[in-house]
């Protein structure tokens, strides 16, 4: 028997597609079920014995390869030759069943080998519907990181078997497989994918892009893990049942990829600031470019607050009102309504417009103009800050500005400066929705503050930022009223900042072109300043030593001067004889006498 | 305090605006918002008539007859849209006086800039202020750049109201003979009218809950950038205000400042004032006891902040 013949002859293991298939059947096949188990593209029929032993079903193998079917038959199982690409495959399968009840189907690593798998999938959908049966399919994931990383660098190596098996005709990602199944009337009931960090495409093993520890690979793996969770999925192993088919082509229409509207304005509100909401909507009604939709997400609103928001929306001019959608959300923290708005958005770009922000009449226009040349990048204008307070006049609560608008935020964006402090209020920038749909970015709802800062850093890193030299937004700073600034203590803000820093430090960070110039300049300045500080410190030390020495000398001189100036007050001069005690004097006298 | 009765609701509202080479898109935005306001007023029984007068001070017509018909069709809740081409730049004071004279059945007049978009409730909140018969002139708050002049918290009382968007009873406007078109071309005609309203023992109220969007901009460093026309006519108006409201020493100081100014528009304003003075074209000064006029640092009210 040739090697080529045996290349698909793999054993049933708990952690391979066969093991996962049997687990799924165990989960979804009703106990005591009787009937036929149909194994499409059965090859050597590896699961035959397990199906019979564990589930008591009658195994029937179907394949186009007579040689492999002989091996199945040799083990005493029923097997039929059938071309699964045949448009009449449904009728052929019914003939195989010959009136017997179908309990379950396996279709493992067969679909990708077919030039046109639509007929067998449609037949499978029909059979599952007719028999209320369950099917398990397994399909290789062509978007595995090993394939993706090497393909990015221009490498595409077919192999004898595996993810890029030379005999594959159709290649599937998670989404494209789901689409193909939906078209055929197949619903994904459950999944038990085979996950492999290092697939059969992990070669050459010293490829820098494939190593898990290189910067290049680390960055791309981090981006991919946010974008889509199947980077390490080797095979999709899914349980299927019948569902109404979703009509559509087997391919994606390019027009499906972008929004018809330029901007989705997401406005989160709690319905507690109706006058501010009125002012915000007025700013939108007055925009010189009206190519936007408005998604108002009422977050944890009481019934009265919800009605208030609905009334304000109902009062808007029809041309604006028709473009407003109101959605209630009763779960999550501060970011939940933003994320819900992003899910509902249809625009190419997204703006986060809090219900107390203000914008100039060209706010949308400036962004729309910038999109023409810089589409895909973050678009950032200059946001001003203005202090404001609520002032009730004749029974109507109104807003009183208490300071002039101030230019407190950097007019030009620098990502390295933003690593230290946020210089971009959300009302001053818009981001491409693709960052959410294609890169999986979300506002982190676990963060109680600074969630916009974290999102901005991620978005700016991926997309880059185009500055618009116009002051088109006003971020209001409330006096004497609760806001996120006052509702959270400084310690909480600092804690969230540390969390942002931790996340940034956990992976490689991409800097835009030109940003290293800023870093060089800043580092050079820092070094110069440090050197200057060192020199100054040394000089200060010298001066202090000198000062101490001088102080000591001054002390000595002062003491000497004091001694010189003071009158002589030494002990009275007393002759030696008087100073001696009488006894000593007597002895001395006696000695003198004796000496004669 | 006046004891006359205010028109009972529903009332007739007349909005008038002076176009000057205004883009038609801007006119449409303004009218869409006014039509929507009228819808609310009619539905809630606040008004029984809502008319808009578009005065055009441009050298060539901004709107053709077809444009006007299209605008009328666009605004089903506005009972009448009248378009009047002056064929010359008549200035705001004369323009508004002539537009107000075009119809005499309105209970309230609203003066609006053509680049203004009104919030749906604004007009009706302004109308509420006239429940107090002492009120003679009401101003809406402008967005996104609020006028910095001060007002009393709670009552909204203020020195003057700007006609970017302001409302006054027609009867009072007629009685006070409208804006002083002899003195003012544009700028300060509204300050002057406000002070004459107060002379007539009525109050001027700023209602921050009534909001309009006025299409204004600041530089990226948050500075106000006036146009040359704004510099010229506001300079001229400052001299005329100091003269009319009996501030000879202030007038002398401003004239001296303008004469020495590097800004040609200010020097031109001083020359124009002297020309009028020499030809006897200035009106008689009023408010000799300085009970009404408020001059604070070359402004006409105390400001909350400098813009």
| Inside any domain, residue B297 | no
**What CATH class does A7-242 carry?**
alpha beta
| Inside any domain, residue B1 | no
| Inside any domain, residue B284 | no
Q: Would you place residue A257 in the very low, low, confident or very high pLDDT band (cuts 50, 70, 90)?
A: low
- C-alpha dihedral (A74, A79, A80, A86), degrees to nearest 10: -120
DSSP β-ladder status, A396-401 and A324-329: unpaired
Helices B264-278 and B248-259, axial angle in degrees (round to 10): 130
Instruction: Please name the residue that has the structure tokens 């102080």.
Output: A551
Chain B contact set for A382 (CB, 8 A): 220
Strands (E), A27-108: 36-40, 58-63, 78-81, 102-108
Residue A360: other Cβ atoms inside 10 A: 27
| Residues in CB range of A134: below 8 A, 6 or more apart | A25, A28, A29, A103, A104, A105, A128, A189, A239, A240, A241
Chain B contact set for A282 (CB, 8 A): 117, 119, 143, 211-213
For residue A463, the SS3 value is helix
Q: Are A270 and A328 a contacting pair, CB within 8 Å? A: no
- Minimal Cβ distance to B305: which of A278, A396, A404: A404
Q: What is the CA radius of gyration of chain A?
A: 40
Chain A contact set for B213 (CB, 8 A): 282-283, 285-286, 361
- A258-508: CATH topology is Spore Coat Polysaccharide Biosynthesis Protein SpsA; Chain A (3.90.550)
For B272-296, write each residue's pLDDT tens digit. Answer: 999 999 999 999 999 999 999 999 9
Is the pLDDT confidence value at A436 over 80? yes
A205 class by beta-carbon count within 10 Å (0-12 exposed, 13-18 middle, 19+ buried):
exposed
Instruction: State residue A492's pLDDT score.
Output: 84
Of the candidates B218, B28, B44, the residue with the CA atom closest to the CA atom of residue A285? B28
DSSP β-ladder status, A378-393 and A465-478: parallel
Regarding whether B240 and B210 lie in a shared domain, the answer is no
Number of structural domains chain B divides into: 2
- Look up residue B299 and give its two tokens: 């402004």
Is the pLDDT confidence value at B166 over 70? yes
Regarding whether B201 and B63 lie in a shared domain, the answer is yes
DSSP β-ladder status, B108-112 and B165-169: antiparallel
Regarding whether B241 and B116 lie in a shared domain, the answer is no
DSSP letter at A461 equals: H
| Inside any domain, residue B80 | yes
The CA–CA distances, whole Å, from B209 to A50, A280, A462, B183 equal: 76, 13, 42, 33
Average pLDDT, chain A: 92
Regarding whether B234 and B148 lie in a shared domain, the answer is no
| Inside any domain, residue B6 | no
Q: Would you place residue A571 in the very low, low, confident or very high pLDDT band (cuts 50, 70, 90)?
A: low
Q: How far apart are CA A407 and CA A426, in angstroms?
A: 15
Regarding whether B239 and B210 lie in a shared domain, the answer is no
| Residues in CB range of A446: below 8 A, 6 or more apart | A333
| Inside any domain, residue B223 | no
Per the structure, the complete domain to which residue B210 belongs is given by 11-214
| Best to test chain B binding among A361, A402, A467, A475 (most B CBs inside 10 Å) | A361
Chain B contact set for A274 (CB, 8 A): none
Q: Are A218 and A212 a contacting pair, CB within 8 Å? A: yes
Interface of A with B in 118-147 (CB under 8 A): none
A518 touches chain B (CB under 8 A): no
Q: How far apart are CA B11 and CA B15, in angstroms?
A: 13
ipTM: 0.96
For B17-35, write each residue's pLDDT tens digit. Answer: 999 999 999 999 999 999 9
Regarding whether B272 and B123 lie in a shared domain, the answer is no
Q: Which helix (H) or strand (E) holds A233?
A: strand A233-242
A-to-B residue pairs, Cβ atoms closer than 8 angstroms: 134
For A207-246, write each residue's pLDDT tens digit. Answer: 999 998 999 999 999 999 999 999 999 999 999 999 999 9
To the nearest whole angstrom, how far is the Cα of B121 from the nearest Cα of chain A?
8
- Minimal Cβ distance to A275: which of B25, B209, B216: B209
| Inside any domain, residue B3 | no
DSSP β-ladder status, A292-299 and A324-329: parallel
Regarding whether B145 and B29 lie in a shared domain, the answer is yes
Instruction: State residue A572's pLDDT score.
Output: 66
Chain B contact set for A400 (CB, 8 A): 146, 153, 208, 304
Of the candidates B112, B56, B57, B108, the residue with the CA atom closest to the CA atom of residue B82? B56
| Inside any domain, residue B222 | no
Compute CA B213 distance to the chain's CA centroid, rounded to the nearest angstrom.
15
Q: What percent of chain B clears pLDDT 70, i.e. is strictly above it?
A: 98
Q: How far apart are CA A547 and CA A555, in angstroms?
A: 12
- Look up residue A222 and give its two tokens: 């981090």
Mean pLDDT, residues A457-486 taken together:
89
Average pLDDT, chain B: 94
Regarding whether B205 and B236 lie in a shared domain, the answer is no
Q: How far apart are CA B298 and CA B42, in angstroms?
A: 43
How is chain A split into domains, by residue range? Answer: 7-242, 258-508
Instruction: State residue B3's pLDDT score.
Output: 47
For A333-372, write each residue's pLDDT tens digit. Answer: 889 999 999 999 999 999 999 989 999 999 999 999 999 9
Q: How far apart are CA A575 and CA B13, in angstroms?
A: 127
Instruction: State residue A148's pLDDT score.
Output: 97
What's the CATH code of the domain at B100? 3.90.550.60
Q: Which helix (H) or strand (E) holds A316?
A: none
Q: Would you place residue A479 in the very low, low, confident or very high pLDDT band (cuts 50, 70, 90)?
A: confident
- For residue A194, the cross-strand partners are A235
- Minimal Cβ distance to B121: which of A278, A394, A470: A278
Q: Which helix (H) or strand (E) holds B209?
A: strand B203-214
Of the candidates B94, B3, B7, the residue with the CA atom closest to the CA atom of residue B55? B94
Instruction: State residue A473's pLDDT score.
Output: 96
Instruction: State residue B293's pLDDT score.
Output: 94
């Amino acid at each position: 028997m040739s090697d080529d013949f045996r290349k698909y002859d793999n054993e049933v293991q708990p952690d391979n597609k066969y093991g996962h298939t049997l687990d799924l059947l165990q989960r979804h096949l009703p106990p005591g079920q009787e009937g036929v188990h149909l194994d499409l593209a059965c090859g050597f029929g590896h699961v035959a014995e397990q199906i019979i032993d564990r589930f008591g079903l009658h195994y029937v193998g179907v394949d186009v390869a007579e040689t492999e079917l002989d091996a199945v038959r040799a083990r005493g199982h029923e097997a039929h030759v059938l071309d699964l690409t045949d448009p009449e495959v449904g009728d052929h399968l019914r003939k195989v069943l010959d009136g017997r009840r179908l309990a379950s189907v396996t279709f493992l690593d067969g679909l990708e080998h077919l030039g046109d798998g639509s007929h067998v999938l449609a037949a499978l959908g029909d059979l599952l519907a007719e028999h209320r049966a369950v099917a398990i399919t397994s399909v290789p994931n062509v978007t595995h990181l090993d394939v993706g990383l090497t393909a990015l660098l221009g490498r595409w190596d077919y192999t004898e078997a595996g993810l890029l098996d030379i005999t594959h005709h159709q290649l599937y990602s998670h989404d494209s497989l789901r689409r193909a199944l939906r078209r055929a009337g197949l619903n994904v009931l459950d999944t038990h994918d085979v996950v492999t960090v290092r697939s059969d495409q992990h070669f050459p093993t010293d490829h820098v892009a494939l190593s898990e520890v290189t910067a290049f690979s680390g960055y791309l793996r981090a981006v991919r893990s946010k974008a889509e969770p199947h980077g390490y999925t080797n095979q999709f192993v899914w349980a299927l049942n019948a569902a109404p088919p979703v009509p559509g082509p087997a391919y994606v229409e390019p027009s499906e990829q972008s929004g018809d509207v330029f901007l989705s304005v997401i406005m989160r509100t709690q319905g507690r600031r109706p006058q501010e909401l009125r002012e915000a909507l007025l700013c939108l009604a007055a925009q010189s470019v009206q190519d936007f939709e408005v998604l108002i997400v009422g977050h944890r609103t009481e019934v009265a607050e919800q009605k208030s928001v609905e009334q304000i929306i109902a009062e808007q001019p029809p041309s604006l009102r028709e473009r407003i959608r109101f959605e209630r959300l009763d779960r999550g923290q501060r970011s939940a309504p933003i994320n819900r708005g992003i899910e509902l958005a249809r625009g190419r770009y997204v703006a986060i417009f809090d219900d107390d922000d203000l914008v100039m009449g060209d706010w949308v226009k400036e962004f729309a103009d910038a999109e023409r040349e810089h589409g895909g990048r973050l678009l950032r204008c200059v946001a001003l800050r203005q202090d404001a307070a609520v002032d009730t006049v004749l029974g109507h609560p109104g807003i009183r500005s208490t300071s002039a608008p101030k230019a407190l935020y950097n007019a030009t964006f620098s990502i390295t400066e933003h690593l230290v402090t946020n210089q971009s209020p959300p009302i001053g920038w818009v981001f491409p929705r693709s960052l959410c749909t294609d890169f999986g970015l979300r506002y982190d709802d676990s963060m109680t503050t600074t969630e916009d800062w974290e999102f901005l850093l991620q978005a700016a890193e991926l997309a880059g930022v185009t500055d618009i030299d116009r002051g088109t937004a006003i971020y209001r700073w409330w006096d004497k009223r609760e806001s996120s600034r006052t509702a959270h203590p400084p310690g909480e803000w600092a804690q969230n900042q540390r969390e942002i820093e931790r996340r940034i430090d956990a992976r490689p960070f991409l800097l835009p072109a030109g940003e290293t110039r800023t870093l060089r300049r800043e580092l050079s300045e820092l070094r110069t300043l440090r050197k200057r500080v060192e020199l100054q410190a040394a000089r200060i030390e010298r001066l202090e030593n000198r000062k101490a020495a001088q102080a000591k000398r001054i002390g000595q001189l002062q003491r000497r001067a004091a001694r010189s100036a003071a009158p002589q007050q030494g002990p009275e001069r007393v002759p030696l004889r008087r100073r001696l005690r009488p006894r000593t004097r007597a002895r001395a006298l006696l000695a003198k006498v004796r000496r004669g | 305090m006046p004891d006359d009765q205010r028109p009972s609701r529903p009332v007739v509202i007349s909005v008038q605006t002076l176009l000057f080479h205004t883009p038609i898109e801007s006119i449409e935005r303004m009218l869409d918002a006014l039509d929507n306001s009228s819808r609310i007023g009619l539905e809630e029984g606040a008004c029984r008539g809502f008319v808009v007068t578009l005065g055009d001070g441009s050298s060539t017509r901004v709107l053709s007859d077809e444009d006007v018909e299209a605008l009328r069709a666009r605004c089903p809740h506005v009972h009448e849209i009248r378009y009047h081409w002056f064929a010359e730049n008549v200035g705001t004071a004369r323009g508004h006086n002539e537009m107000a004279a075009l119809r005499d059945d309105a209970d309230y007049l609203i003066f609006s800039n053509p680049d203004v978009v009104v919030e749906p409730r604004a007009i009706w909140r302004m109308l509420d202020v006239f429940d107090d018969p002492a009120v003679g002139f009401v101003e809406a708050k402008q967005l996104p750049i609020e006028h910095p002049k001060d007002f009393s918290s709670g009552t909204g009382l203020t020195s003057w109201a700007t006609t970017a968007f302001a409302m006054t009873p027609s009867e009072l406007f007629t009685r006070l003979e409208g804006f002083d078109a002899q003195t003012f071309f544009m700028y300060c005609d509204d300050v002057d009218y406000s002070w004459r309203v107060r002379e007539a023992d009525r109050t001027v109220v700023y209602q921050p809950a009534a909001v309009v969007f006025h299409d204004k901009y600041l530089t990226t460093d948050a500075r106000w950038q006036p146009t040359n026309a704004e510099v010229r006519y506001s300079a001229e108006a400052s001299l005329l205000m100091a003269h009319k409201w009996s501030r000879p020493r202030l007038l002398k100081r401003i004239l001296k400042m303008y004469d020495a100014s590097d800004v040609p528009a200010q020097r031109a304003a001083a020359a124009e004032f002297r020309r009028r003075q020499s030809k006897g074209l200035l009106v008689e000064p009023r408010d000799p006891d300085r009970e009404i006029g408020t001059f604070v640092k070359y402004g006409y009210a105390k400001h909350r902040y400098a813009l």
